[in-house]
Amino acid sequence: MLLEAVFHRPTMPWAYACDENTIHLRLRTKRDDVKRAFAVAGDKYAWDQTRQTLPMTKRFSDALFDYWQVAVRPPFRRLRYGFMLRSGRETVWYGENGFSREPLADAHGLFEYPFLHPGDVFRPPEWAKEVVFYQIFPDRFANGDPSNDPPGTEPWGGRPTPRSVFGGDLAGIIDRLDYLAELGVNALYLTPIFEAPSNHKYDTKDYRKIDPHFGDAETLRRLVAACHERGIRVVLDAVFNHCGAEFAPFVDVLEKGRDSAYAGWFHVREWPPAVRDGIPTYDTFAFVPTMPKLNTEHPKVRDYLLGVAEYWIETADIDGWRLDVADEVDHRFWRDFRKTVKRAKPDAYIVGEIWHDASPWLQGDQFDAVMNYPFADAVLDFFAKERIDAKQFADAIGSLLARYPDPVTEVAFNLLGSHDTPRLLTMCGGDKRRMKLAVLFQLTFPGAPCIYYGDEIGMTGGGDPDCRRCMIWDADRQDRDLFAHYRTLIALRRANSALRTGDFRFLRARPGDRRLVYERKDENAHFVIFLNAGRRAANVSAAVPEGRWTDVWTGEAVEATGRRLTLRLPAYGFRMLKRDTP
């Protein structure tokens, strides 16, 4: 065994409270090196009486490592533990003090989880495990009230520019809720709707006022109430890293300089605030002068923004917040933000915009989830851009699954495109078959999938602002076959817990190959998905349990009688088999 590859620490995600009675232990070993792994665990005050040896399961693998996991239920909520590793005739014990060839004689030198406190359990909202999100860019979704159109509103459907406006509003979303219900989504994420001069509204002028071109607070209340009647949750966008140049405190700073009562609300490096050689003398978002960065460590800024977070929950009964540029705001602020939001609505969903490893924000004291761009990167590289083979894809997904505790994975905000990226169909080179496979994987993977408005009807577009085109409402111009693909997958996901929170495992993912097989299963059902992401028809085989399976797409019965099941799939084809668990 390569002991240098073995790793564990008694912290997330290697040791964590899964629920009030259960601790998950995770161990890393070199890939295909260790044949069996066990956790040796017991109570530190009654080691001899409580010690037990528990087999671990190889849950994930990436290019270099295997990740083993076991659930332990300590009888007295205290846990001291080590690991026993076996490969062939070799057995090694591993604890906090290192490795030993001798069996563990006592609890000395082992890892410790001192006490399982209920308050330490990561508790995202249960409903976040059940939803399929739909992201809406309000100005481009639907115009329900032409009377509030801003000056210069362009005809619906024109090619967007950075400054163009098309009149979409909250009333338009209300008008189209039947469409969203038909699609099957049960949660909305709206990009910013508060007063701001731009079309995207990420340069906030007034955090307590709905932009008049979108409606008013009463319109938002009607939207949320109508959504709730249909079982649809509503999450709004919080832009707390920065404001807009028309935000009253910043205007006051520009007018009065150091003498402004709001001088401490911003990070001014050189007075007076100005732009010199293209660089602002104050901190901003991405050097954009009209987006000055807020000083969230300033007590009055903190109180103001936390008040905003609470205000819209109480005023409109929204169900959560998406946090813009979340990684550039201090952790202390987000800890206070979580307390404020959860006090106002205990099951509110908090999702941060973070494009990289977000472990520091997902310890249970800040966010429930983040926008899972690493997931999107892996899916797009395999299905859309065809840059990697099946093994590289499975390795990337395995690495991602090993990065976070299971409760985090179950509510991760899994997107394939957004207002910040090119459209999914465009990234697939216009090939709807590739797009269907990507969507199939997204909607059968653990987490909370999110659909960017219009993807489900085949809308295209490059990077911002082209990805922000107006929603197509002419049925003759909508791809209804693609819509049916989304609707069927959403219905299957919502009807089967195995596709939401069941175990996930790759059954086939080989180097140099574009055929893939994976399974989702729980106590209710067992799914196996066969994919051919190649450009030619091919046989795809994998080991599956014997018995009668049903193709959920066609209703056809498939009998697995041998050690392996082989299916013939067309180029970019798939079969989705289900076996009900007795």
How far, in Å, CA of 273 to CA of 270, rounded? 6
pLDDT tens for 179-190 read 999 999 999 999
For the beta carbon of residue 428, count every other beta carbon within 10 angstroms: 25
Please give the distance of CA 149 from its chain centroid, rounded to a whole number. 34
Q: Dihedral angle at the C-alpha atoms of 338, 343, 348, 349, nearest 10 degrees? A: 10
Report the Cα 529 to chain-centroid distance in Å. 22
**Dihedral pair phi/psi, residue 216, rounded to 5°:** -145, -175
pLDDT tens profile 267-305: 999 999 999 999 999 999 999 999 999 999 999 999 999
Q: What is the pLDDT of residue 550?
A: 95
User: Helices 299-316 and 217-229: crossing angle, nearest 10°?
Assistant: 50
At 16-54, the pLDDT tens digits run 999 999 999 999 999 999 999 999 999 999 999 999 999
Q: How far apart are CA 211 and CA 201, in angstroms?
A: 9
Q: For 78-91, how does the pLDDT look when each residue is reduced to its tens digit (9 = 90+)?
A: 999 999 999 999 99
Residue-wise over 461-493: b if at least 16 C-beta within 10 A, else e?
A: beeebebbbbbbbeeeebbeebbebbbbbbebb
- All CATH 2.60.40.10 domain ranges of the chain, comma separated, are 3-120
Give the model's confidence band at 107: pLDDT under 50 very low, under 70 low, under 90 confident, else very high: confident
Active site residue 90: no
Indicate the fold that domain 243-295 takes in CATH: Oligo-1,6-glucosidase; domain 2 (3.90.400)
With vertex at residue 88, the alpha carbon angle to CA 86 and CA 91, rounded to the nearest 5 degrees, is: 35
Mean predicted confidence (pLDDT) in 333-360: 97
Task: Give residue 562's pLDDT.
Answer: 82
Asked if 501 and 522 count as a contact pair (C-beta separation under 8 A), the reply is yes
Other CB atoms within 10 Å distance of the CB of residue 402: 20
User: DSSP states of 197-229 as a string?
Assistant: SSSS--S-SEEEEE-TTT--HHHHHHHHHHHHH
Which ranges in the chain are annotated with CATH 3.90.400.10? 243-295
CB 171 within 8 A of CB 201: no
Interval 318-333: pLDDT, tens: 999 999 999 999 999 9
Q: What is the mean pLDDT of the chain?
A: 97
Structure tokens at 172: 């338009």
What is the model's pLDDT at position 164?
97
Mind listing the pLDDT tens digit for each residue in 490-522? 999 999 999 999 999 999 999 999 999 999 999
pLDDT digit string (tens) for 439-495?
Answer: 999 999 999 999 999 999 999 999 999 999 999 999 999 999 999 999 999 999 999
What pLDDT, on a 0 to 100 scale, did the predictor assign at position 341? 98
Q: What is the pLDDT of residue 103?
A: 87
Q: Are strands 525-532 and 79-87 parallel, antiparallel or unpaired?
A: unpaired
Instruction: With beta carbons less than 8 A apart as the criterion, state whether 439 and 489 touch.
Output: yes
Mean pLDDT to the nearest integer, 201-223: 98
Half-sphere exposure of 564 (CA within 13 A, CB side): 10
Q: What is the pLDDT of residue 580?
A: 74
Residue 532 is predicted with a pLDDT of 98
Exactly one of 203, 353, 395, 406 is catalytic; name it.
353
CATH 2.60.40.1180 residue window(s) in the chain:
501-580
pLDDT digits (tens, 9 = 90+) for 299-308: 999 999 999 9
Distances (CA, A) of 166 to 162, 214, 474: 12, 11, 16
Q: Which of 66, 237, 324, 410 is catalytic?
A: 324
CATH number of 3-120: 2.60.40.10
Query: Is 546 annotated in the active site?
Result: no
Residue pLDDT, tens place only, 565-575: 999 999 999 99
Spatial separation of the C-alpha atoms in residues 285 and 233, rounded to whole Å: 29
What pLDDT, on the 0 to 100 scale, is given for residue 549?
95
pLDDT for the residue 372: 97
Task: Tell me what the mean pLDDT of segment 536-561 comes to.
Answer: 94
- The model's pTM is 0.96
Q: For residues 137 and 201, give the distance between their C-alpha atoms in angstroms, rounded to a whole number.
A: 10
What would the pLDDT profile of 374-412 be if each residue is shown by its tens digit?
999 999 999 999 999 999 999 999 999 999 999 999 999
Is residue 104's pLDDT more than 90? no
Is residue 105 over pLDDT 80? Answer: no
| Contacts of residue 9, Cβ cutoff 8 Å, sequence gap at least 6 | 15
Q: Does residue 203 have a pLDDT over 70?
A: yes
Q: Which fold is adopted by the domain 501-580?
A: Immunoglobulin-like (2.60.40)
Model confidence at 106, in pLDDT bands (50, 70, 90)?
confident
Token pair of 317 as six digits: 């009964």
Residue with tokens 């609707």: 487
Judged against a pLDDT cut of 80, whether residue 581 lies above it is answered with no
224-234: pLDDT as tens digits: 999 999 999 99
Q: What integer pLDDT is reported at residue 349 of this predicted model?
A: 98
For residue 514, the model assigns a pLDDT of 98
Confidence tier at 561 by pLDDT (50, 70, 90): confident
Cα gap 519→529, rounded to integer Å: 6
CA torsion sign for 30, 35, 41, 47 is: negative
Q: What is the phi/psi pair of residue 382, to 5°?
A: -85, -55
Question: If residue 377 lies in a helix (H) or strand (E), which one and from where to where?
Answer: helix 373-379
